[in-house]
Structure 1
Amino acid sequence: MILATTKVKDLDHFLEVFSTKGADKRGSHGSQGATVYRDPIEEDRVWAVFNWDEEGWTAFATDPETPGIMQEAGHLGRPSLGQYLGSFDA
């Protein structure tokens, strides 16, 4: 799993691109899907939890087509990744 956060220009437009072109590109690099949340304090910030491994994320991040898709989606900067600390039972 990978947790990422980013700020976007327009949430609806971001979700449209994220769920189509972005999904196709992520899938081509092994992503098994994503769950997206809107930040409760910063309305222009989204959080995504990806069912993805580090190798696939790195391949996606270095794909030459990725910056154009992210620009089209309206990212206001590069996504930041959360640092994985562990998994815990209930």
Structure 2
Amino acid sequence: MHVLAEVRIGDLEQFLDVFADEGLGVRKGHGCRGTQVFTPADEDGRVVVLLDFPDHAAFEAFRTDPDAPPVMRRGGAQGPPTFTVLERVGVFPH
């Protein structure tokens, strides 16, 4: 299952450093199979992250993990993320 997370941040480099190190451990601890990080082309101070979890229970365990918020704060998150659970409704080859 995929989850879209959006969060306001201070410094992108700081966020990516913590996300790639401490954040990786938290995500992997809940079975996250991969992530992609994006920034809106016309906006600074916000990242959009696509997370791949094996199921809803794994995502919920990650979402409610008390260790996650302090790691996010060290990465410069300026508040909690907004999560959107995505449901695949089609795949169209190009």
Task: Give the TM-score normalised by the residue count of structure 1.
Answer: 0.89
Report if the CA contact (8 A) 2:69-2:80 is conserved. Answer: no
Task: Write out the 4+ residue segments of structure 1 that deviate beyond 2 Å after TM superposition.
Answer: 82-87
| 1:31 correspondence with 2:32 | yes
Q: Which range is displaced more, 59-68 or 28-37?
A: 59-68
Q: Which range is displaced more, 80-89 or 29-38?
A: 80-89
Correspondence for 2:62: 60
Three-state SS of the structure 1 residue aligned to 2:72 is helix
Task: Kindly report the root-mean-square deviation, in angstroms, between the aligned alpha carbons of the 2 structures.
Answer: 1.4
Correspondence for 1:40: 41
In structure 1, runs of 5+ residues without a counterpart are none
Q: What is the letter of the counterpart of residue 26 of structure 1?
A: R
Percent of residue pairs bearing the same amino acid type = 31
Q: Which range is displaced more, 38-47 or 13-22?
A: 38-47
Measured after TM superposition, the shift of residue 84 of structure 1 is 2.5
Task: Give the TM-score normalised by the residue count of structure 2.
Answer: 0.86
In structure 1, what is the Cα distance between the partners aligned to 2:11 and 2:25?
20
Q: Which range is displaced more, 25-34 or 73-82?
A: 73-82
Correspondence for 2:91: 89
In structure 2, what is the Cα distance between the partners aligned to 1:85 and 1:45?
23
Q: What is the letter of the counterpart of residue 20 of structure 1?
A: D
Three-state SS of the structure 2 residue aligned to 1:49 is strand
